[in-house]
Amino acid sequence: MANEEMDFSPDQEGVERGEVEEAEDLESLKKALEEAKEKAEKYLVNWQRAEADFINYKRRSEQERAEMASSANANLIADLLPVLDDLERALESASDDFDGPTWVEGVRLIYRKLKAVLEDQGLLEIEAEGKEFDPNLHEAVMCVEGEEGKVCEEIQKGYKLGDRLLRPSRVKVGKEQDGSGSDED
């Protein structure tokens, strides 16, 4: 009987030891699975963040590229404004008798075409004469007798490209004369 107990005891002990080892293996597998899930979640979050960063980078790059193109366009148009001014002055001072009306008409045509091209690119002429003086759009060159705060005369046209001011209008601004000036004499 003692032999039977010995035979039974090691088998039972082996089964229990096997169950304990299986339980430990199961626990370690569960722990490894949890760690793998956490790692996968961390990788997913990092990947999503990297993807969002890349999308933002592409958007910023597009905006910068558009701003650079707009700036280059604005610089070119600003450089062409003196040419437009010179053509306008030539037309104002030319008479039809000077080398015939064909020459003057040719310059007029060049002026209109150049102005149309610039306007197609977004160039806007600032309206000044008769308007309220706006220091954001006008540069006061002198004050003259006239309606207070109104632009009396435009000396040089001003231009905008979209919302960007390329050149302010150079203007004469009206200022009412004081009646007190005659009392001092």
Predicted model pTM: 0.57
The pLDDT tens digits of the residues spanning 72-130 come to 888 888 888 898 888 888 888 776 556 566 777 888 888 899 999 989 988 999 999 98
- The domains of the chain are located at 125-176
Say yes or no to pLDDT of 184 above 90. no
How large is the C-alpha radius of gyration of the chain?
42
Calculate what percentage of the chain has a pLDDT beyond 90: 44
Q: Is 16 helix (H, G, I), strand (E, B) or coil?
A: helix
| Assigned token pair, 41 | 């979640």
**Which residues neighbour 26 within 8 Å (Cβ) at sequence distance 6 or greater?**
none
Least confident span in 23-32, 69-78, 95-104, 176-185: 176-185
Q: For residues 51, 57, 60 and 64, what is the CA-based torsion angle, rounded to 10 degrees?
A: -150
Which DSSP state fits 177?
Answer: P
At residue 99, the 3 state secondary structure works out as: coil
146, 117 in Cβ contact below 8 A? no
Q: How confident is the model at residue 2, as a pLDDT? A: 47
Q: Note the pLDDT of residue 14.
A: 60
Please give the angle made by the CA atoms of 158, 86 and 107, to the nearest 5 degrees. 120
Picking from 166, 170, 171, the residue whose alpha carbon sits closest to that of residue 79 is 166
Q: What CATH fold (topology level) applies to the domain 125-176?
A: Nucleotide Exchange Factor Grpe; Chain A, domain 2 (2.30.22)
- Beta partners for residue 138, in sequence order: 169
